[in-house]
């Protein structure tokens, strides 16, 4: 006898299966509900938004140079008289202070200046007494008007000569033994020394005895080769490092470009004035120079904080409208410090996300 299901029982089973099938279909439909990330107005308002700007692109140029004293704070001391050097009190590199004695010289000229000063003082006293006597005689009627005027003239000449001889003695500073004293007018470092004891010095010698430099500011003289001449301008920002202080960066601006080529190395010079705290930079130091110069090319520019780097490419998150954002691939022309210049992908006026952009990128890229 074969097994079979009566027709009366078959219908309830069909209904149960249909109900179960409908239940599974409803559950699957709910599972497939759209779960894509949605950016709201509230989220946009909580983010930092930058506007892309148009700017003249910058370029980094690496050059070399050397440190020299600031010529506005450099004093060269020349001999004003002839003589023989007796005592040199300083050496090259010494620190000196304004008015400090550097050397003594024995000089016949200084002795002559001293003699003139003494004679002029004596003549001044004599002419003063003569004028007083002539005035008394003139009041008594024993001297003429002409005699009085002559006495006044002699006295005025004596005054002028006395001032001249004293001025000469002040310029040609001397000690009690009439030695010519070489003193420094400023404080600084001895950067040149061209005499020793017993050196014979002539007043018409074109070489300085000493050079004293105040190194609180120095110059960096930069070598600009012909290929870079058109790129360098007054006002360009400069960063300088040296072998002595490789981790310390000295900054300044180009304040002069010398429009002449050196015939030996075919380079042009540019000058940078640098504040030198602690006198760290010394004359003749070799300098590595990095110049941030304008290229003349106008490109969109953004702050590097907005960049996203993924899979060897750069991206930004662009805001279109109030709450619509999209991932935008970009091509960077160059990066200078915290600025990125864009070759492709953005234009001036575009708005980009500058905070939490990586979170948005990860949510939107799929």
Strands (E), 10-82: 49-51, 53-69, 74-77
Strand 217-225 to strand 267-275: parallel, antiparallel, or no bridges (unpaired)? antiparallel
Per-residue pLDDT tens for 246-259?
889 999 999 999 98
Average pLDDT, the chain: 83
User: How many angstroms from the chain centroid is the CA of residue 362?
Assistant: 43
Residue 102 sits at the vertex; the CA angle it makes with 100 and 108, to the nearest 5 degrees, is 115
Token readout for 255 is 């304040």
Q: Partners of 292 in the beta sheet?
A: 60, 237
Give the residue among 196, 240, 245 at the shortest CA–CA distance from 68. Answer: 240
Question: Per-residue DSSP letters for 173-186?
Answer: -B-TT-EEEEE-SS
Q: Is the pLDDT of residue 26 over 60?
A: no
Give me the domains of the chain, ranges plus CATH numbers.
42-56+298-364 (2.40.420.20), 62-71+215-296 (2.40.30.170), 72-212 (2.40.50.100)
User: How many angstroms from the chain centroid is the CA of residue 165?
Assistant: 46
Q: Is the pLDDT of residue 23 over 80?
A: no
Per-residue pLDDT tens for 331-349?
988 787 788 888 899 988 8
Token readout for 307 is 């960049």
- Helix count (H) and strand count (E) of the chain? 5, 20
Please enumerate in sequence order all residues whose Cβ is within 8 A of that of 273, keeping only pairs 6 or more positions apart, or say none: 70, 217, 218, 219, 252, 253, 255
Per-residue pLDDT tens for 98-149?
999 999 888 888 778 888 888 999 999 999 999 999 998 988 888 899 988 9
Residue 285's pLDDT band (cuts 50, 70, 90):
very high
Residue 37's pLDDT band (cuts 50, 70, 90):
low
Per-residue pLDDT tens for 8-20?
444 444 444 454 4
Q: Is the pLDDT of residue 193 over 60?
A: yes
Range with lowest mean pLDDT among 22-36, 76-90, 99-113, 255-269: 22-36
Q: Is the pLDDT of residue 27 over 70?
A: no
Q: Is the pLDDT of residue 206 over 90?
A: no
Residue 81 sits at the vertex; the CA angle it makes with 77 and 85, to the nearest 5 degrees, is 75
CA distance 43 to 37: 12
- pTM for the model stands at 0.57
Residue labelled with tokens 């000295």: 250
| Mean predicted confidence (pLDDT) in 263-274 | 87
DSSP for residue 164: H
CA distance 200 to 106: 10
Residue 1's pLDDT band (cuts 50, 70, 90):
very low
Per-residue pLDDT tens for 144-165?
999 889 999 999 999 999 998 8
Residue 104 sits at the vertex; the CA angle it makes with 98 and 106, to the nearest 5 degrees, is 145
Residue 265's pLDDT band (cuts 50, 70, 90):
confident
Residue 295's pLDDT band (cuts 50, 70, 90):
low
Q: Is the pLDDT of residue 5 over 70?
A: no
């Amino acid at each position: 006898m074969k097994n079979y299901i009566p027709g009366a029982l078959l219908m309830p089973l069909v209904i149960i299966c249909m109900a179960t099938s409908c239940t599974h279909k409803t559950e699957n439909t709910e599972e497939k509900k759209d779960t894509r990330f949605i950016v709201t107005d509230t989220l946009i308002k909580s983010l930092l938004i930058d506007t892309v700007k148009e700017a003249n692109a910058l370029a980094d140029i690496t050059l070399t140079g050397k440190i020299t004293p600031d010529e506005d704070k450099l004093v060269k001391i020349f001999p004003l008289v002839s003589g023989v050097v007796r005592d040199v009190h300083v050496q090259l590199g010494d620190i000196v202070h304004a008015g400090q004695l550097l050397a003594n010289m024995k000089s016949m000229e200084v002795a002559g200046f001293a003699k003139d000063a003494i004679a002029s003082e004596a003549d001044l006293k004599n002419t003063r007494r003569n004028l007083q006597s002539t005035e008394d005689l003139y009041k008594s009627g024993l001297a003429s008007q002409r005699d009085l005027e002559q006495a006044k003239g002699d006295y005025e000449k004596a005054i002028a000569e006395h001032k001249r001889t004293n001025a000469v003695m002040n310029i040609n500073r001397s000690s009690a033994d009439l030695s010519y004293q070489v003193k420094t007018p400023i404080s600084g470092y001895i950067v040149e020394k061209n005499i020793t004891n017993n050196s014979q010095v002539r007043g018409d010698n074109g070489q300085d005895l000493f050079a004293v430099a105040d190194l609180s500011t120095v110059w960096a003289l930069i070598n600009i080769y012909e290929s870079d001449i058109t790129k360098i301008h007054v006002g360009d920002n400069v960063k300088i490092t040296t072998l002595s202080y490789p981790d310390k960066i000295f900054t300044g601006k180009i304040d002069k470009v010398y429009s002449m080529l050196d015939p030996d190395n075919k380079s042009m010079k540019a000058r940078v004035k640098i504040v030198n705290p602690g006198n760290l930079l010394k004359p003749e130091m070799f300098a590595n120079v990095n110049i941030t110069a304008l290229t003349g090319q106008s490109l969109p520019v953004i702050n590097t904080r907005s960049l996203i780097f993924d899979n060897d490419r750069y991206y930004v998150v662009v805001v279109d409208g109030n709450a619509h954002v999209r991932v935008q691939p970009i091509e960077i022309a160059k990066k200078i410090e915290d600025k990125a210049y864009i070759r492709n992908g953005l234009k001036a006026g575009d708005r980009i996300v500058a905070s939490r952009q990586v979170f948005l990128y990860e949510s939107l890229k799929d």
